[in-house]
């Protein structure tokens, strides 16, 4: 069990998913793989079925409703002075109870070079919340920049298909380097450098207090992602995703993969923001009949939406799948 957690963290930090050794395959997984090798599947028909299933967008619609509702609640609370959810995503107060983003709190404490006791109540609540909901669930269900980047990604994919642009990838370990670099800059300069550059905070504050010049930086990021590198900020730079990824390592909420149900048509990897976490769906790779997708998963539900056979499902450990 400890090895599974470590492997999940290793991949999240930028390591390549490790192919299981023959001795690591369970007997049940070996049996399923044996029968799959002898199957003749019509992958063209399966892909058509997957695209038809994708039109339902069950989790996408619900996720966008939640994300927009959270961010609009900040705006409504401020403009109508109803004091339900005050502040911004980096630091807020809900019905008088303080909530502080974990990465922001870490940056502040590094900048001040001591542990700030008053931050612990707000960060503790947020920690427990995202521990239960899956860590990087914050990225896809709450982050306002994610909403913008997700729609920019659609344009990027369209341009790639039309051969107007080429997608450029980077080593995923770059994000770990940026996480350490921003932490070091906060410690050395005494200033939360990342908070100045973070599109999450910039977009959140712009929605609440009105747009400013900082939005120009966000526009540049989106243009970079549209014309050069798909989801570059979220995949290769943002330390917030890595911080919440650590929180989600032991989360009870996972996307679960069932080998027996999988047709290996690969549509899930095409829509995934972090396709390396779905390495197990490649034919012959899964060492167990049932696997939890790793900590770097954002629990966005895109893979669940496009899976035609129900091989991928949201589940809470010890409970039945979430419909």
Spatial neighbors of 69 by CB under 8 A, at least 6 apart, are none
- Tell which CATH architecture fits domain 24-55+253-316: 2-Layer Sandwich (3.30)
Q: What is the pLDDT of residues 187-224, one digit of tens each?
A: 999 999 999 999 999 999 999 999 999 999 999 999 99
Q: Determine the average pLDDT of the residues in 153-176.
A: 96
For the chain, counts of helices (H) and of strands (E): 16, 6
pLDDT at residue 18 is higher than 80 = yes
Question: Strand order in 85-88's β-sheet?
Answer: 85-88, 91-94, 97-100
Q: What is the pLDDT of residues 50-64, one digit of tens each?
A: 566 555 788 999 999
Q: What is the pLDDT of residues 224-265, one digit of tens each?
A: 999 999 999 999 999 999 999 999 998 999 999 999 989 888
Q: Determine the average pLDDT of the residues in 26-36.
A: 88
Eight-state DSSP code of residue 233: I
Is the CB of residue 148 less than 8 Å from the CB of residue 223? Answer: no
pLDDT at residue 115 is higher than 80 = no
Domain residues of the chain, as ranges? 24-55+253-316, 60-246
| Reported pTM | 0.90
10 Å Cβ neighbour count for 29? 21
First to last CA, the chain: 27
Q: State the pLDDT confidence band at 86, using cuts at 50, 70 and 90.
A: confident
Residue 213 and residue 259: Cα distance in Å, rounded?
49
């Amino acid at each position: 069990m400890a090895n599974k957690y470590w492997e999940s963290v290793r991949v999240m930090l930028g390591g390549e998913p490790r192919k299981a050794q023959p001795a690591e395959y369970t007997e049940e997984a070996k049996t399923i793989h044996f029968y799959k090798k002898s199957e003749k599947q019509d992958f063209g028909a399966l892909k058509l079925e997957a695209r038809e299933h994708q039109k339902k967008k069950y989790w996408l619609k619900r996720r966008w409703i939640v994300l927009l509702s959270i961010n609009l609640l900040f705006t409504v609370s401020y403009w109508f002075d109803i004091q339900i959810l005050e502040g911004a995503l980096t630091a807020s107060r809900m019905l008088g109870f303080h909530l502080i983003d974990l990465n922001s709190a870490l940056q502040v404490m590094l900048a001040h070079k001591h542990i700030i006791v008053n931050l612990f109540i707000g960060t503790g609540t947020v920690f427990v919340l995202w521990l239960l909901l899956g860590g990087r669930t914050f990225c896809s269900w709450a982050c306002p920049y994610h909403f913008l980047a997700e729609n920019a990604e659609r344009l990027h994919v369209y341009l790639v298909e039309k051969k107007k642009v080429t997608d450029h990838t980077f080593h995923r370990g770059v994000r770990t380097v940026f996480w350490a670099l921003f932490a070091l800059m906060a410690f050395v300069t005494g200033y939360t450098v990342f908070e100045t550059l973070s599109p999450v905070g910039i977009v959140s504050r712009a929605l609440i207090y009105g747009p400013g010049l900082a939005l120009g930086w966000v526009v540049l990021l989106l243009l970079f992602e549209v014309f050069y590198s798909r989801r570059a900020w979220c995949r290769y730079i943002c330390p917030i995703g890595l911080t919440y990824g650590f929180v989600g390592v032991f989360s009870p909420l996972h996307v679960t993969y069932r080998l027996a149900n999988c047709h290996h048509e690969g549509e899930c990897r095409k829509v995934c923001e972090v396709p390396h976490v779905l390495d197990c769906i490649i034919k012959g790779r899964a060492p167990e009949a049932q696997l939890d997708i790793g900590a770097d998963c954002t629990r966005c539900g895109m893979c669940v939406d496009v899976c035609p056979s129900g091989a991928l499902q949201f589940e809470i450990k010890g409970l039945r799948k979430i419909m």
